[in-house]
DNA sequence: CTACGCTCAGATA
DNA sequence: TATCTGAGCGTAG
């Protein structure tokens, strides 16, 4: 699985398809297609608040995330591994993640998460600022929309804090 | 080497 | 409380 993307509206979807020259006609074998269909349903269920642990499910489906290729430095790989150990509904902070891997670089942790190509599966929405603000999500443009999205994800998971 | 960021803690009003 | 400021440090270029 290469990446998961979210868009603000249809125009953004078309722009993305055009920009990356995506081709949906590429033929997939039955197993691949089956996994995609299942994952699609899982994500739908997840967004409906059914308590799905997506990372766990992806492993069960033997979908290869190629994390070593996506996160090549030790620091970024450690950040992701730490994050993947968090449970559904957990909330942690950038500083916590840093501390766990022996670094004070809370801001650098955010930099790694910014480039997360697998939101939802790699639950970067569970990482917020220590002062209680949600912090950023998926890059800097469309900031309000993305922060709203992050907040909604936390609400979907039923996080204990108020957002 | 430089610039930048999904940060943090401390200071100030 | 709200805003500002410098420290901090891994990454991309």
Q: How confident is the model at residue A29 (pLDDT cuts 50, 70, 90)?
A: confident
Asked whether residue A127, judged by its CB, lies under 7 Å from any atom of the DNA or RNA strand B, the reply is yes
Rounded Cα–Cα distance for residues A12 and A145 (Å): 13
**What pLDDT was estimated at residue A162?**
63
CA-to-C1' distance for A115 and B13, Å? 38
**Which residue gives the smallest C-alpha to C1' distance to C12?**
A111
Arithmetic mean of pLDDT, A148-155: 93
Total residues found in chain A within this entry: 163
Q: Which positions of strand B lie within 7 Å of protein CB atoms?
A: 4-9
More confident call, A101 vs A17? A101
Arithmetic mean of pLDDT, A120-137: 94
Task: For chain A, give the percent of residues with pLDDT over 70.
Answer: 94
More confident call, A22 vs A34? A34
Nucleotide of closest approach to A122 (CA, C1'): B6
CB of A52 closer than 8 Å to CB of A40: no
Q: Which two three-digit tokens encode residue A42?
A: 């899982």
Task: For chain A, give the percent of residues with pLDDT over 90.
Answer: 71
Residue-wise DSSP of A80-148: HHHHHTPPTT--EEHHHHHHHTT---HHHHHHHHHT-S-BTTB-GGGEE-TTS-----SSSTTHHHHHH
Name A98's Cβ contacts closer than 8 Å, sequence gap at least 6: A104, A105, A106, A108, A109
Identify the helix (H) or strand (E) that includes residue A73: none
CA A150 to chain centroid, in Å, comes to 10
Chain segment A58-72, per-residue pLDDT in tens: 999 999 999 999 999
How high is the mean pLDDT of chain A?
91
**What pLDDT was estimated at residue A113?**
96
Q: How confident is the model at residue A18 (pLDDT cuts 50, 70, 90)?
A: confident
Arithmetic mean of pLDDT, A103-108: 94
Which residues of A are part of the catalytic machinery?
124
pLDDT over 70 at A2, yes or no: yes
More confident call, A19 vs A63? A63
């Amino acid at each position: 699985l290469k990446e998961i993307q979210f868009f603000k509206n249809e125009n953004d979807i078309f722009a993305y398809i055009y920009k990356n020259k995506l081709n949906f006609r590429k033929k997939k074998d039955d197993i691949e297609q089956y996994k995609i269909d299942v994952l699609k349903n899982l994500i739908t269920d997840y967004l409906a608040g059914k308590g799905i642990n997506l990372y766990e499910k992806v492993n069960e489906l033997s979908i290869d995330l190629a994390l070593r290729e996506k996160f090549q430095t030790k620091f970024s790989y450690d950040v992701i591994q730490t994050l993947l150990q968090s449970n559904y509904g957990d909330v942690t902070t950038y500083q916590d993640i840093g501390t766990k891997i022996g670094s004070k670089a809370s801001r650098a942790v955010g930099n790694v998460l910014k480039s997360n190509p697998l939101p939802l599966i790699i639950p970067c929405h569970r990482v917020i600022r220590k002062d209680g603000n949600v912090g950023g999500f998926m890059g800097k443009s469309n900031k309000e929309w993305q922060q709203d999205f992050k907040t909604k994800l936390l609400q979907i998971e039923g996080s204990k804090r108020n957002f």
